[in-house]
Structure 1
Amino acid sequence: MRLSLCSRARSVRPFRWSPNAPDHHRRRRLSLLVIMGATGTGKSRLSIDVASRFPSEVINADKIQLYRGLDITTNKIPLRDRRSVPHHLLGDADPSAGELSPISFRSLAASAAASIASRSRLPVIAGGSNSLLHSLLSDRFDPLTPLGYDFRSPVRLRFNCCFLWVDVREPVLSEQLDRRVDDMLGLGMFEELAGYIGTPEARAESGRNVGLNRAIGVPEFERYFRRFGSAVANPETDVAARAGYEEAVREIKENTRRLAEAQREKIVKLGSSGGWRLNRVDATEAVRAGLEGEPDRFREAWDRDVLRPGLKVVKRFLDESAFENNTFY
């Protein structure tokens, strides 16, 4: 069911934001919804769910998904799953143009958010790269320190932000991440990587793609391709190649789990030391139901534990933000 703001909020004139406006004006006027969480927790799903109920557009904040190419390996949400919700900075950057810096992302994402807000729509920032989130949201960003600051004092935000943190507890998240790697391989991840780095010629061409080459899966399978070539090994006739393939898959799963752990630790720091007011929603039971192959139970748990609490937070945020002349209706 579509939620609506009170008539008082709807009557407010939409704010037209300029990226050249003073920082204090931007903080007071431009409102953003930020959906954060470790990889594999359901951020993309929640962003689409929110946009299906409030007029919204999504800005990607995953540092690998910024680049064009390797859609399966980087786990970009397919067009068919976006439900016609506009997405920005998702596969837009040319990987051969060099790595996109946090400072560049700060400028591009702020401009995208301003454009979205100028159309009386809610900018939704979704992604697991906390360094990008901090670069965009921090009033004063120092690219020379980890995450742009050292956690010794709370971070002043340049925008009016509502934070939704989608969290999944261990060991459910680890099992979910392992399953996701298997699913990606089933969708053609190996074949996609074989075309990207499976031959010396392909590796030479992809060598300039610094940012995209950091995607989990590229370095792990590059070692396999250098030794065994790009063909899928027959386990009955080529035991060594099959063992190499399985080792690459194990490394991908281990590295993905490590990434998720590091992301969660940084989110906790942003909430405690950084002073970000995080609204945590727990997707553990929904993810567990999905792993156990129970779609009805998954939808029930997702609606109960994630979607309904999240929508309640967003509606309250929009009701309050309406008084700042930044309405989305």
Structure 2
Amino acid sequence: MAVVGATASGKTGLSLDLAERLGGEIVNTDAMQVYRGMDIGTAKLPVAERRGIPHHLLDTLTVRDPATVAEFQAWARAEIAEIRGRGRTPVLVGGSALYTRAILDRFEFPGTDDAVRQHLEDELARVGPAVLHERLRAVDPEAADRILVENGRRIVRALEVVEITGRPFTASLPTMEYADPATVQIGVDIDRPTLDERIARRVDAMFEAGFVDEVARLLDEGLAEGRTAGRAIGYREVAAYLAGEITLDEARERTVNATRRFSRRQDSWFRKDPRVVWIRYDDPDLVEKTLSAVRATLTS
């Protein structure tokens, strides 16, 4: 099963409750929590707060290591198979929508072409992501709507797939067919004003907990050179502050705004999946209703 929804909606707490009730283990589906040292900025749950529940796909890479959706799919599916082999229940949790879909659904990734990829990456470095994003919009408007303008890596991948296959990038995205028919997705439903306030509080807490020092340390470890980790929200804003390009207050405000934009995209992506069972974040029977949805899926 998977717990999905926007950043700061309450997914982590629900996943722990479910793992306790179901005899489960947690599988992280957040693209940035796989990186060692990226703790405060990704709201990674400290070991002491994991209730003794095994967690997987946390702290497996250095910030210099790249990671693709295809690789993450393979890692997660291997972890899921091992958890089931122990007679336990895998509980996926994270806000990286494409990663979650790639793990849960039938999805074969299109190949790559090193020459095409290198050409596009060179162009990205030369003209910036906004120019390539406009090119993507011309050939695949739906993909452009789904990919943030500043996410140069995903823009390059989308254009690469278009050039290699001659089809829109969106044509290669997962179909809504679970690899395991017994899968259930629980969406944590939260209203926008409450979520926006939670995000602001979370960012304030991050900075108070030493986020700037965390980013400074990771920059020394190669964060800026990391093709995946280097684009994480908050980290790039604090890096700009440390480089003297913006003030600390501006870094904080940009982090809040970028997180809010990202949360809207998360919500939009998950809302398009009719299989998600949405339950209010503040429902007093949240856990019981979730377990009822799981039982209904297993007996249908």
Q: TM-score, normalised by structure 1?
A: 0.69
> For residues 153-302 of structure 1, what are the structure 2 equivalents within 5 Å?
155-160=176-181, 161-197=183-219, 202=220, 205-227=222-244, 244-271=247-274, 277-283=275-281, 286=282, 301=283
Which amino acid in 1 is paired with 2:45? I
Query: Aligned with 2:3: secondary structure?
Result: strand
In structure 1, C-alpha distance between the alignment counterparts of 2:19 and 2:195, rounded to whole Å: 25
**Which residue pairs with 1:135 in the alignment?**
102
Deviation, 1:152, is 10
Which amino acid in 2 is paired with 1:59? V
Deviation, 1:132, is 0.4
In structure 1, C-alpha distance between the alignment counterparts of 2:175 and 2:253, rounded to whole Å: 39
In the alignment, structure 1 residue 81 sits paired with structure 2 residue 49: yes
Q: Which 5+ residue runs of structure 2 have no aligned equivalent?
A: 112-139, 147-168
Deviation, 1:153, is 9.9
In structure 1, C-alpha distance between the alignment counterparts of 2:172 and 2:81, rounded to whole Å: 28
In structure 1, C-alpha distance between the alignment counterparts of 2:295 and 2:272, rounded to whole Å: 26
In the alignment, structure 1 residue 57 sits paired with structure 2 residue 60: no
In structure 1, C-alpha distance between the alignment counterparts of 2:73 and 2:173, rounded to whole Å: 22
Identity across matched positions, percent: 30
Larger radius of gyration: 1
Deviation, 1:222, is 1.4
Q: Is the CA contact (8 Å cut-off) linking 1:151 and 1:269 kept in structure 2?
A: no
Q: Is the CA contact (8 Å cut-off) linking 1:141 and 1:149 kept in structure 2?
A: no
Deviation, 1:245, is 0.8
Deviation, 1:151, is 9.8
In structure 1, C-alpha distance between the alignment counterparts of 2:229 and 2:260, rounded to whole Å: 19
In structure 2, C-alpha distance between the alignment counterparts of 1:153 and 1:185, rounded to whole Å: 37
Deviation, 1:174, is 0.4
Question: More deviation in 86-95 or 121-130?
Answer: 86-95
Query: Aligned with 1:247: secondary structure?
Result: helix
Q: Which 5+ residue runs of structure 1 have no aligned equivalent?
A: 1-32, 229-242, 272-276, 287-300, 322-329
> For residues 100-115 of structure 1, what are the structure 2 equivalents within 5 Å?
100-115=67-82
Deviation, 1:308, is 2.1
**Which residue pairs with 1:236 in the alignment?**
none
1:138-160 C-alpha deviation (Å, 9 max, x unpaired): 21334589587449995222112
Q: Is the CA contact (8 Å cut-off) linking 1:165 and 1:278 kept in structure 2?
A: yes
Deviation, 1:194, is 2.6
**Which residue pairs with 1:232 in the alignment?**
none
Query: Aligned with 1:166: secondary structure?
Result: strand
In structure 1, C-alpha distance between the alignment counterparts of 2:175 and 2:63, rounded to whole Å: 34
Q: Is the CA contact (8 Å cut-off) linking 1:58 and 1:86 kept in structure 2?
A: yes
In structure 2, C-alpha distance between the alignment counterparts of 1:152 and 1:114, rounded to whole Å: 23
1:214-266 C-alpha deviation (Å, 9 max, x unpaired): 221111111211118xxxxxxxxxxxxxx811111000000000000000001
In structure 2, C-alpha distance between the alignment counterparts of 1:190 and 1:123, rounded to whole Å: 34
Would you say how many aligned residue pairs link Structure 1 and Structure 2?
245
In structure 2, C-alpha distance between the alignment counterparts of 1:184 and 1:84, rounded to whole Å: 24
Give the 3 Å change call, closer, same or farther, for CA 208–150 of structure 1 in structure 2: same
Query: Aligned with 1:53: secondary structure?
Result: helix
**Which residue pairs with 1:311 in the alignment?**
291
Q: TM-score, normalised by structure 2?
A: 0.75
Deviation, 1:314, is 2.4
**Which residue pairs with 2:9 in the alignment?**
41
Deviation, 1:118, is 0.7
Query: Aligned with 2:225: secondary structure?
Result: coil
Give the 3 Å change call, closer, same or farther, for CA 138–153 of structure 1 in structure 2: closer
Q: Is the CA contact (8 Å cut-off) linking 2:237 and 2:254 kept in structure 1?
A: yes
In structure 2, C-alpha distance between the alignment counterparts of 1:315 and 1:162, rounded to whole Å: 9
In structure 1, C-alpha distance between the alignment counterparts of 2:224 and 2:250, rounded to whole Å: 23
